[in-house]
Chain A
Amino acid sequence: QSVLTQPPSVSAAPGQKVTVSCSGTSSNIGNNYISWYQHLPGTAPKLLIYENNKRPSGIPDRFSGSKSGTSGTLGITGLQTGDEADYYCGTWDSSLSAGVFGGGTKLTVL
């Protein structure tokens, strides 16, 4: 059971928009930054969003992040078939003194 809660799967058509939610508590999301990662099987995870809503260099602005209270959201617009992957939220949990991730959300582009 993951500390952060994500939906197991989301889907949308090419060109459409999708959001992925991530729910936590005051000891993790509520008082720390959220990050989002894209993971394709057999490859290294890639950082998409850091500090709730910032994009590293090279990440297109189709990817966005937001945070409110103890929850965060990843948004992806202009969906492409290449976006099919597993997406994870992550942060630090101050009570556990440990890094924590969501269970992952599988994105299907129909």
Chain B
Amino acid sequence: EVQLVESGGGLVQPGGSLRLSCAASGFTFSNYWMSWVRQAPGKGLEWVANIRQDGSQKYYVGSVKGRCTISRDNAKNSVYLQMNSLRADDTAVYYCAREGYNFGNFDQWGQGTLVTVSS
């Protein structure tokens, strides 16, 4: 059974940093692009970033470029999102998602981890 389990969310002050983790199991992790998708309170889904199987390519949504870094460790079957200079509008549930059938398609999702940016 495919499982994606996020962790690392919590309350952080504006300007602070947080590192999210996603532990994958039940499939060959190194064969897939992986993404982070978020949902702010009362808002829709927003794609945040993705990373190629070997980590050599990464893409980001404009609002997080320069502030967030996606990375992965295939030996640990994990993908990470380092978030710096956090702002109130980064407050959201962050989902880890596997890119399955094609680019920008997400066939497996985690349950999400909540990030709250507030003083």
Q: How many chain B residues have a CB neighbour from A under 8 Å? A: 26
The tally of CB-CB contacts under 8 A between chains A and B is: 82
Contacts of B61 in A (CB 8 A): 98-99
Report the separation of the CA atoms of residues A88 and B106 in the bound assembly, to the nearest whole angstrom: 12
Contact A104–B102 (Cβ < 8 Å): no
Contacts of A54 in B (CB 8 A): 101
Contact B59–A39 (Cβ < 8 Å): no
A55-75 interface code vs B (CB 8 A; 1 in, 0 out): 010000000000000000000
Q: Return B98 CB to nearest CB of chain A, in Å.
A: 10
Contact B100–A45 (Cβ < 8 Å): no
Contact A88–B44 (Cβ < 8 Å): yes
Interface centre among A43, A47, A88, A96 (most CB of B within 10 A): A47
Interface residues in chain B, defined as those with a beta carbon under 8 Å from any beta carbon in chain A: 35, 37, 44-47, 50, 59-62, 95, 97, 100-112
Apart from A98-B60, A98-B62, A101-B47, what are 5 other A-B pairs with CB-CB below 8 Å? A56-B107, A98-B47, A99-B104, A101-B46, A104-B44
